[in-house]
Structure 1
């Protein structure tokens, strides 16, 4: 990927097809580490903020766009109950280690899978153990992910009673064609009912909308945007679909309907269109893809608002001294230069914890503490970074050099005490995250993209970005248009 500093609006020669990833990526696996040894070696004295993540890897139906760790599970089933028992055992085990309880969490996130597949009684049991094991006096936000079919009033009461204040729905699209392709089985009538129900119990409601699917038109996307606005939730998230990590069955569905992949120029057009549509409807960006209803849109001078944030991302993802402690099968703990991933197998996760009081983990350690994470992730994604959060003397020179290039090209603006992203920079924020990453991390992402691109069952659009002012009829990309042609 090349940065095109002097190319007007087009700032990179291609788009990155991956929109989120763990950071840092690099590291050497240390297979001899046990789960206890790994956590005992964590030095959390410099950790400023902590997030807790709890993974519930069961779904009633499997969506074709999702490749997260999950499997079929039914509410009240034996396997879900065994998993809950194992999860509670992991919570108690980890809470006995000082590195896990030394920093009170500021945010908690229940993800999946489908956390709302739990019964109200299971929700309360897990919540009781969390309250018992952790100091929640600093907790600011507790988020639960839900699927419409499994939401009941009884469960909403249980989630609220344990401390949840934000609910998220995986709505994805209102379009019946794409809902069928995604294998979304909830009805829109149920969705509207649940959105109203959540408003009775939680301070914040949000949902996801995917776009950039094969064959999607701007008119179809505009209809999704308007219906999303009309739902009336406090915030919403708009994600360009990441086709490299979708299931082959989605692409088989595309082919059966003769839907062709959109180019990444087309996807960028939808991204810019959505921002203008939503901003003119009273919403404002609060991170790279999230929008919040703004009480005073005209009074906010920041392109990405600082009046609201997804605190989970802010407190576990943004800076080198924010960490994340994961619980559940496949969940990840990231602390300074350490990454500890739990057993990805739900079956062995349950068996090892319930039968052996143990947990298999995969441990990696990066080459250095990621002091650059604020520049690489927080600034492009959250839209701002305070200068006192940047430890310039500990940030690799290549990261500083690439940041300087982006700043000079108007992707960021310098303020007295901070740096902030511009509208132009936001348009390319994913590419900027990649571009400012150290070479070793870029190499890992390149290898991932190359490997996934070899999957013959996946179809994706052209990722090349055609610079404005070039002649598409010429064989050599980048050749300037003759003046007579440019003038029309």
Structure 2
């Protein structure tokens, strides 16, 4: 098990080790979870949001033109004929119809919609419009605040962007990942920088909120390389730029092999932390300000001094996905997950099984539903992803003692600030937000994550070094 130690000294380097993974879903499944009937579980969903809970719909479109080697998500390349994609859209619409019949889904106003993948932009403009019509037919969108659609550069056209806008999309995001030709080849990114720039222009001309993703901390990456990536990202003029550290433990074995073949050595954890610290200062020097631990937007406000961050704009789907126990995500599509009420439901990951079952049954009888999702600490454990923890949204009497004690220690060590009615992350907390998620997780959850990391190493992935420095 990882042994994260906290430093008492006045330093941003609060932890002596760096976790080798950067995101995961909590709570984790366990052998103690009861398998329950999906129909009965859906019947238990309440028709009224509780304790300021938010409702998000997530749609997974797994089709990709090429498979990027860094990507950990379920995706396929067999979409080369339109009929198969059309069948998948029909299946998602059938799943909408089935689930919306339950009052706790169909009658609860939706706050957020996110369409991800895979690459949803492989859908045609007509399929996008049909998808949007089904959303309006089956759900209450009267309180919809954010509607995100993910893009893949090669599949984007102005007509598709206009179709997205027509159905209510107000935020689009696409992964540039890197501009460096060597890393683009290793990641199997087949779009060109010219295509990236063209899509960025089309998107920013169409939507008020456009985001791009850049990966950093790549094996062999220099600080000059990172500065060049930041400059190229800024030049696209998007609303926000997300800088994600490369998640080696989730990437494919092919990516690991290609780094080795090219003699590119993984960066040390100290180097990656140093890059994060430099990147924050570099983006500020370029007129940008952080809106969380990894995302930056151009600062358009008059300020009299340095601020830690400004949560405007906020990626609201992120806040719900990594939210409180009363926040809910209803998943649609192959491999999609539903986290709602007292259960988690996992859709079949097989594309054929997903389509065939909805065509024949109009429901997913094979969906795996696990009950007894009693997790009062969820909002605390996920707090470092959001950066804000509203105290009145937590049932404190039911929170495990170890999580409450670690939160108190995080405050005492300067990772978290107690603001009376809420907790917020400090600069040190943002620097180590992933470590803090792990630190706040009860011991059983930490052990579950450790075992998954060890399994991926056993499969052949190079383990990340984790030691930053030795505590004296």
Q: Does the TM-score normalized on the shorter chain lie above 0.5?
A: yes
Residue 302 of structure 1 and its aligned partner are, at CA, apart by 4.9
CA contact (8 A) 1:317 1:323 kept: no
Residue 416 of structure 1 and its aligned partner are, at CA, apart by 3.6
The whole-number CA distance in structure 1 between the counterparts of 2:407 and 2:420 is: 17
The whole-number CA distance in structure 2 between the counterparts of 1:30 and 1:385 is: 27
Q: SS at the partner of 1:275?
A: helix
CA contact (8 A) 1:333 1:339 kept: yes
Residue 75 of structure 1 and its aligned partner are, at CA, apart by 5.9
Which residue does 1:2 correspond to in 2? 4
What are the residue-to-residue correspondences of 1:32-431 with 2, within 5 Å? 33-43=36-46, 45-47=48-50, 48-74=53-79, 77-296=82-301, 298=303, 302-359=307-364, 360-366=366-372, 368=374, 370-378=375-383, 380-431=384-435
CA contact (8 A) 1:76 1:118 kept: no
Q: Among 7, 14, 17, which residue is 1:14 paired with?
A: 17
CA contact (8 A) 2:36 2:371 kept: no
Q: Which runs of 5+ in 2 are unaligned?
A: none
Deviates more, 1:353-362 or 1:175-184: 353-362
Q: Normalising by the residue count of structure 2, what TM-score does the alignment of the two structures yield?
A: 0.94
Q: SS at the partner of 2:296?
A: strand
Residue 258 of structure 1 and its aligned partner are, at CA, apart by 0.9
The whole-number CA distance in structure 2 between the counterparts of 1:403 and 1:160 is: 42
Q: SS at the partner of 1:171?
A: strand
Aligned residues between the structures = 466
The whole-number CA distance in structure 1 between the counterparts of 2:296 and 2:353 is: 39
Q: SS at the partner of 1:243?
A: coil
Residue 269 of structure 1 and its aligned partner are, at CA, apart by 1.1
The whole-number CA distance in structure 1 between the counterparts of 2:56 and 2:447 is: 28
Q: Normalising by the residue count of structure 1, what TM-score does the alignment of the two structures yield?
A: 0.91
User: What RMSD in Å do the two structures reach over aligned CA positions?
Assistant: 1.9
Task: Mark the CA change 1:431 to 1:44 in structure 2 (over 3 Å): closer, same or farther.
Answer: farther
Residue 5 of structure 1 and its aligned partner are, at CA, apart by 3.5
The whole-number CA distance in structure 1 between the counterparts of 2:291 and 2:428 is: 16
Residue 321 of structure 1 and its aligned partner are, at CA, apart by 1.1
Which residue does 2:449 correspond to in 1? 445
The whole-number CA distance in structure 2 between the counterparts of 1:185 and 1:307 is: 33
The whole-number CA distance in structure 2 between the counterparts of 1:433 and 1:231 is: 32
Q: SS at the partner of 1:128?
A: helix
CA contact (8 A) 1:108 1:142 kept: yes
Task: Mark the CA change 1:141 to 1:300 in structure 2 (over 3 Å): closer, same or farther.
Answer: farther
Residue 374 of structure 1 and its aligned partner are, at CA, apart by 2.5
Which residue does 1:471 correspond to in 2? none
The whole-number CA distance in structure 1 between the counterparts of 2:373 and 2:313 is: 34
Summarize deviations over 1:107-164 as a string: whole Å, max 9, x none: 1000000000001111111110001111111001100000110000110111000000
Q: SS at the partner of 2:226?
A: helix
Deviates more, 1:76-85 or 1:183-192: 76-85
Residue 303 of structure 1 and its aligned partner are, at CA, apart by 1.6
CA contact (8 A) 2:54 2:328 kept: yes
Which residue does 2:439 correspond to in 1? 435
